[in-house]
Amino acid sequence: MINISNVGRRYGTFVALEDIDLQIKAGEFFSLLGPSGCGKTTLLRLIGGFDVPSSGSISIDGAPMSGVPANHRPTNMVFQSYAIFPHLNVAENVAFGLNILNLTKAEKQARVDEALSRVRLVGLGSRMGSQLSGGQRQRVALARALVMKPKVLLLDEPLSALDKKLREEMQVELRQLQQDIGITFVLVTHDQYEALAMSDRIAVMFDGKIAQIAKPQEIYQNPTSRRVADFLGGMNFLETANMRLLGENVVADVAGFGTIANKRRGDEMIDPAKATLGIRPERLRIQWEDEKAKNEISGKVLSRHYFGEVTNLVVQVEGQPRPLSVVETNDFGADGIPVGSLVRIAYDEDAFVLMKE
């Protein structure tokens, strides 16, 4: 659907994007995830035709986009600021693009009504943009883009201006909407939970380059680099010694844990000199006194950080230079495990994550 090959973008000496190769499939919800300044918005603007690549090419639905301005591309964009025309009301905003097409009044009206009902804004057509709440403005921007029936909808941090509760509701709603209409969505976000919750696939970007492209589960469970792992949720990077290839496995001596074998995926090349082993905090389980697990380590609680649903414990495990972060569920009583206690922590053998770099 969208074929981005070898795309680069330079501003003077500043390299915003470098060697971007990316194929986005038809009907896919694809997210570009990364910290601010990683080039994700630049890439979105290149797809939308608001900027031109310094090198490489982009094609959409088989048609090369070089020299095609934004107004002739089969894409529509939901802007971060929503860009609601302040001098027009909601219905006029939604009809803006339709006025350029040759439609009868009735057809136009029908499409505006359909778009407004899709984003649940029926009855607000005569409101001015400034009379709307943030969530409603976001819906107007969405309706205004969708009414054009684009092949690709581009979304530039569409939820970043909303408060947490509304943002979570809109994540579900956007995903549902995308499933209903079945067109390709390309979302730019710096919020890993947003990307994980909504996308079919995610491209994680750092410093103008794509670090990893994968499905949400894959990218969370098998990040290829320390950086990706660190950006998507918490990760305990473990101190290892004598990492080596052993048949299908990568084996390492992990202080406190013993010898850990990690199966290699596919024919992936792993350089033991560069690879890192890690474990997610939620894969480390605090044990009740009467519990006994096959794999256990012990440590001392250094501090605790309460988040409501869960509490994050920082535990010093013998042998590991850095304390580990462990998720404690709230079933350890109201006060949880006090700082200074000695705890036993269970883990599964398959919980370790091997990162190439």
Which positions touch other proteins (CB under 8 A)?
48, 50, 69-72, 75-77, 79-81, 83, 85-87, 96-97, 100-101, 127-131, 141, 144-145, 148
Q: How far is the CB of 86 from other proteins (least distance, A)?
A: 5
| DSSP character string of 94-158 | HHTTGGGS---HHHHHHHHHHHHHHTT-TT-TT-BGGGS-HHHHHHHHHHHHHTT--SEEEEEST
Q: How far is the CB of 77 from other proteins (least distance, A)?
A: 5
Q: How far is the CB of 41 from other proteins (least distance, A)?
A: 11
Q: SS3 letters for 215-263?
A: CHHHHHHCCCCHHHHHHCCCCEEECEEEEEEECCEEEEEECCCEEEEEE
Question: For residue 326, how far is the Cα from the chain centroid?
Answer: 23
Smaller CB distance to other proteins: residue 50 or 237?
A: 50
> For residue 171, which amino acid is it?
Q
Q: How far is the CB of 317 from other proteins (least distance, A)?
A: 50
Contact criterion met (CB below 8 Å) for 111 and 147: yes
Q: How far is the CB of 100 from other proteins (least distance, A)?
A: 4
Dihedral over alpha carbons 325, 40, 24, 64 (to 10 degrees) = -170
Smaller CB distance to other proteins: residue 69 or 123?
A: 69
Q: How far is the CB of 135 from other proteins (least distance, A)?
A: 17
CA separation for the pair 342, 286 (Å, rounded): 10
Q: How far is the CB of 223 from other proteins (least distance, A)?
A: 33
CA separation for the pair 104, 95 (Å, rounded): 12
Q: How far is the CB of 72 from other proteins (least distance, A)?
A: 8
Sheet order of strands, 310-317 included: 285-286, 342-346, 296-306, 310-317, 324-329
Smaller CB distance to other proteins: residue 141 or 337?
A: 141
Smaller CB distance to other proteins: residue 96 or 237?
A: 96
Smaller CB distance to other proteins: residue 97 or 234?
A: 97
CA separation for the pair 17, 32 (Å, rounded): 13
Smaller CB distance to other proteins: residue 73 or 280?
A: 73
Q: How far is the CB of 11 from other proteins (least distance, A)?
A: 10
Smaller CB distance to other proteins: residue 138 or 236?
A: 138
Task: Please name the helix (run of DSSP H) or strand (run of DSSP E) that holds residue 16, with its range, or none.
Answer: strand 14-24
- Angstrom CA distances, 195 to 7, 79, 199, stand at 23, 17, 6
Q: How far is the CB of 47 from other proteins (least distance, A)?
A: 11
Smaller CB distance to other proteins: residue 60 or 204?
A: 60
CA separation for the pair 343, 357 (Å, rounded): 31
Smaller CB distance to other proteins: residue 141 or 235?
A: 141
Question: For residue 83, how far is the Cα from the chain centroid?
Answer: 23
Smaller CB distance to other proteins: residue 81 or 242?
A: 81
Contact criterion met (CB below 8 Å) for 301 and 343: yes
Contact criterion met (CB below 8 Å) for 80 and 45: no
